[in-house]
Structure 1
């Protein structure tokens, strides 16, 4: 199905508040906006909504930048900081005041709280009564002369506010259900809806795509656009993300910050692929996609209404799929600092043995879902000797004397092999098994424990090849000594 093409060059934005780390829900919203911009040759803009000075931090702002950069969701223009535009927000609020679309409210905060408490006591929702602020021009002038503080409230007109949502279709709100809302507090600071509309107008935003928890804000914002004689952008509200228990995603479900997954060994392309499928469908059975494929397949018609489920197991599976697809040199570059951090090898050593290192990674990546798992599985290829897993010993070395005898014979056959290559080693050990009248597994499984300390590994002859002749023979000899000495 062909996608709806915007009439003009689209300008979309991601507008997080720097009050915490980049949440996976925010990253998903950023991705949808970014994909839309790339699909239709538009602009993806970043705005940091830092007007809450008490909760906004530089650390959170850096975390947002780092998370987006790790994912590759780069923005097309300078970052906009909402806090730097308060004067414009203030001016736009006063424009509404001057046009009659808004009015001054001198009602003391204590009075508002009293009325709210009374309404709650009656079991009713508090709703501001416009009559509370209905003062004559003379009274207003008198209060202004006394420098009494006032808030500015938007005068909600009669009628209905509706829009065609990209995700949900036609949405309508009766204006009678929207109270006259504050757009500028008595201390002169703008309220969220005022600041957002003022900034989106100034940035030329043509589509606001965000979480559907913002649907209730949208009619207020549309009213503000119209009152400011500005073009109303399109709106699209994507579904919330839930945990596997069906509840809103939170820390109780595990990691929710993008940075956590970065440090757990996930590939950014896998994270993007996974996030894209949370609330969006390609319309076919394809799940594993590169970023260019995501852009090519992206259609707003594929955005779904129902809540998406964040399944960590599915994310790890997706990462495993991308581990298998990534060019081996690129994987080697990613793994090098991790190998250094684990104390297994230096960058210089890995560069000197690049071909060998890539060979090891080829063996391991098909068995791993995370980069950290590759590090763990790589240890036997770097260490001089290995530790034996207790379960592996009890399972494969149960009869110590018989196992020592088989491993001694295995050592001798391998030592006599002229070329240290899988085919030659397999031929020698299968001949040994035939001579002894046993299956190949009776040799290969005890040998695997001797080489890597575990019951699982890549193919045993590949392990022998990449561990190397001298180190392999030394490990087999060490295993024989272990078995004989108890």
Structure 2
């Protein structure tokens, strides 16, 4: 469709929790709009007043901004469009496309029970639907009506879903949908149609839990002389146990991933592959994803969340990240751990040393504590247990060799080799005591790199304490 100006939307309900499956429903319409130089709109479907909160809205907006899903329009709030919905409802009633229904909740429940007893599908029976020659019941006193849409009778709703292929639903399966409650507030399926029409949405890319809503929305849209958009219903995202991803099933929120130290580009890359593919490409930039994205490459099978794959992907992005940018991203995590990054070794150097071994920014920050903690105070018993007396002469020689070395990884490596050769020792026999002397642990990155980051003077000072 080269002449169509593409307009897509993400329309979440702000009910307090947004997980990766939700964000995927934002990523794909965003990518489709960007690929086609179209518009991407954020619409907040907040008509559920009991469950909608501003905090939930903030989480949605922050999560999208974190991933770099920029908006062309929005956020647009449905509650701010109530007058528009009521205007359209009145127009539909005046045109005979909708009608007031005075059936009470008790009567409706009784009808459903009877239908279920008769093994019929529970549905509204059209009691108040006006038809030529039909006499409607007397309007009961003191009952506020709902407004129902006059769904077409007979025939089918047919659409070509961009993911699922052709879908056909018989109109006989659909009863007359309530489009306004007794207090006049419009219902979800009605608001969606008016919004999509007013906002000129061309493509609706959303989860397949909305498939059952689609025939109703198409019928309302056609009644309003609108052209239905192209629908693409995405298969469900399952958790690692094979269940639908949800808060109840242990899904992490977007904020949880931020707090755990995941990079947004790794999350975006991972989400892109949860139901879409481009050949064998596993790791790609946001720009590549936009360039490659099309609806034809969306998968038809449910995607399964794999936490290990996400962690691996995050590790790849950390390994290959610009170290200066990575250090800036890691600083908040370091500060949370009480690390003063302005005092002590250069933080960029520290991050450069640790990044190849880390899966998350939090792991980098935790590793950095080693370099910003005070020099350890070893007791004589600890020194005896961790620094063999036979190694002490080699340690003394190493101190002298370091003192005479250039402050570089290569020079420190050469100093170690010189001392090892002189004392006929293997590297672990010397490196382990050095690590313990410096940090009171034997677990550190490569010792020559550690010396560069810690600084020659500080290292010599710490080593001297255990051999003199």
**TM-score scaled to structure 2, two decimals?**
0.91
Aligned position for 2:56:
60
From 394, 405, 428, the counterpart of 1:441: 428
Note the 1:8-19 alignment, pairs <5 A: 8-19=4-15
Take 1:141 and 1:387, find their aligned partners in 2: how far apart are those partners? Answer: 91
Take 2:386 and 2:173, find their aligned partners in 1: how far apart are those partners? Answer: 84
From 3, 28, 34, the counterpart of 1:32: 28
Take 1:16 and 1:225, find their aligned partners in 2: how far apart are those partners? Answer: 20
Aligned position for 1:300:
295
Structure 1 residues 417-436: Cα deviation after superposition (integer angstroms, max 9, x where no partner): 31232223222322332333
Whether the 8 Å contact between 1:279 and 1:307 is mirrored in structure 2 is: yes
Structure 1 residues 289-298 or 468-477, which shifts more?
468-477
1:19 Cα shift?
Answer: 1.2
Whether the 8 Å contact between 2:21 and 2:237 is mirrored in structure 1 is: yes
Take 2:89 and 2:321, find their aligned partners in 1: how far apart are those partners? Answer: 52
1:106 Cα shift?
Answer: 1.3
Aligned position for 1:361:
351
In terms of fraction of residues, the more helix-rich structure is 1
Take 2:242 and 2:276, find their aligned partners in 1: how far apart are those partners? Answer: 18
1:43 Cα shift?
Answer: 0.5
Aligned position for 2:122:
126
Alignment coverage as a number of residue pairs: 462
Take 1:387 and 1:49, find their aligned partners in 2: how far apart are those partners? Answer: 60
Note the 1:72-471 alignment, pairs <5 A: 72-122=68-118, 124-131=120-127, 133=129, 143=139, 148-157=143-152, 158-251=154-247, 254-282=250-278, 284-346=279-341, 348-349=342-343, 356-386=346-376, 400=385, 403-407=388-392, 409-417=394-402, 418-419=404-405, 420-471=407-458
Whether the 8 Å contact between 2:386 and 2:433 is mirrored in structure 1 is: no
**Against the structure 1 CA distance between its residues 401 and 46, is the aligned structure 2 distance closer, same or farther, given a 3 Å change threshold?**
closer
**Against the structure 1 CA distance between its residues 328 and 402, is the aligned structure 2 distance closer, same or farther, given a 3 Å change threshold?**
closer
Take 2:276 and 2:97, find their aligned partners in 1: how far apart are those partners? Answer: 39
**Against the structure 1 CA distance between its residues 342 and 407, is the aligned structure 2 distance closer, same or farther, given a 3 Å change threshold?**
farther
Take 1:252 and 1:96, find their aligned partners in 2: how far apart are those partners? Answer: 40
1:307 Cα shift?
Answer: 0.9
Take 2:115 and 2:442, find their aligned partners in 1: how far apart are those partners? Answer: 69
Secondary structure of 2:388's counterpart equals helix
Secondary structure of 1:78's counterpart equals strand
User: Structure 1: where are the runs of 5+ without partners?
Assistant: 482-486
Whether the 8 Å contact between 1:107 and 1:133 is mirrored in structure 2 is: no
Structure 1 residues 255-314: Cα deviation after superposition (integer angstroms, max 9, x where no partner): 4211111111111111111111111111x2221112111111212111111111111221
1:360 Cα shift?
Answer: 1.9
User: Structure 2: where are the runs of 5+ without partners?
Assistant: none
Take 2:121 and 2:393, find their aligned partners in 1: how far apart are those partners? Answer: 83
**Against the structure 1 CA distance between its residues 193 and 387, is the aligned structure 2 distance closer, same or farther, given a 3 Å change threshold?**
farther
1:451 Cα shift?
Answer: 3.2
Aligned position for 1:484:
none
**TM-score scaled to structure 1, two decimals?**
0.88
Whether the 8 Å contact between 1:160 and 1:172 is mirrored in structure 2 is: yes
Take 2:53 and 2:347, find their aligned partners in 1: how far apart are those partners? Answer: 42
Structure 1 residues 33-82: Cα deviation after superposition (integer angstroms, max 9, x where no partner): 11111100011101111111111111111111111111111211232110
1:131 Cα shift?
Answer: 3.7
Calculate the aligned-residue CA RMSD, in Å.
Answer: 2.6
1:457 Cα shift?
Answer: 2.7
Whether the 8 Å contact between 1:411 and 1:473 is mirrored in structure 2 is: no
